[in-house]
């Protein structure tokens, strides 16, 4: 990895403890503290998004022992690592090979195992072919046009439950509407929580359109 890496730490609530992670130095100088329209010039995956921190905190406080969890668009992978520390068997997905490479190092830094997969989750077939997970996680993945439609198609194929963290980007209402459509399994938000500016919606996705 060409960029210089620096080690950073965040404190997770409860028994979550301290999570350590490596991040490209130039991205560490880009705090996610602006409005929802902000987007960095650096690669998206390398930014410490507030939604990623919030979702990691949510996972750290959950009973995930033995559950199969997938994080989509994982970037630095904080939610995936927190879920693994909470006892889950975790797969993390990003379409940037550098993100998956760094994810492995960050998982090792925290003493957990996370399977990293390089894949574009806008194409459901490769991920759906890995079998059903128990829970899908995604943090701040709705800043690209078309992301809501792709995510709404993929989530019901992957798991019966999804936790989506987002700071009220424009893609959030279309995603919620799409997950509620009958053709996608009558998904519904069963719980909503907030951590700072981030909203975390927990969706029950029901059966898949194929009847799974």
CATH number of the domain where residue 151 is located: 3.40.50.150
Mean pLDDT calculated for residue range 117-137:
86
| pLDDT given for residue 39 in this prediction | 62
**Could you give the 3-state DSSP secondary structure of residue 83?**
helix
Specify if 87 maps to a domain. Answer: yes
Specify if 113 maps to a domain. Answer: yes
Are 69 and 60 in contact, with CB atoms under 8 Å apart?
no
Residue 199 DSSP one-character state: E
**Could you give the 3-state DSSP secondary structure of residue 31?**
coil
Give me the domain span that covers residue 48.
5-28+43-204
Specify if 37 maps to a domain. Answer: no
Specify if 112 maps to a domain. Answer: yes
First to last CA, the chain: 40
Q: Number of folded domains in the chain?
A: 1
Percent of the chain with pLDDT over 70: 84
């Amino acid at each position: 990895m060409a960029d210089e890496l620096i080690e950073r730490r965040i404190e997770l609530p409860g028994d979550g403890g301290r999570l350590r992670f490596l991040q490209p130095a130039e991205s560490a100088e880009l705090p996610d503290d602006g409005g929802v329209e902000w987007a960095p010039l650096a690669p998206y995956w390398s930014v410490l998004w507030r939604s990623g921190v919030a979702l990691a905190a949510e996972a750290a406080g959950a009973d995930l022992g033995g559950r199969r969890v997938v994080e989509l668009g994982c970037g630095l992978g904080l939610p995936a690592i927190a879920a693994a520390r909470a006892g889950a068997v975790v797969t993390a997905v990003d379409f940037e090979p550098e993100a998956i490479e760094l994810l492995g190092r960050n998982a090792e830094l925290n003493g957990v195992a996370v399977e990293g997969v390089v894949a574009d989750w806008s194409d459901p077939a490769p991920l759906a072919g890995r079998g059903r997970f128990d829970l899908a996680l995604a943090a701040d993945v709705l800043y690209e046009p078309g992301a809501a439609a792709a995510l709404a198609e993929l989530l019901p194929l992957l798991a019966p439950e999804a936790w989506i963290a987002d700071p009220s980007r424009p893609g959030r209402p279309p995603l919620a509407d799409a997950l509620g459509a009958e053709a996608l399994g009558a998904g519904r938000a069963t719980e909503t929580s907030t951590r700072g500016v981030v909203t975390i919606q927990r969706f029950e996705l029901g059966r898949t359109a194929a009847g799974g």
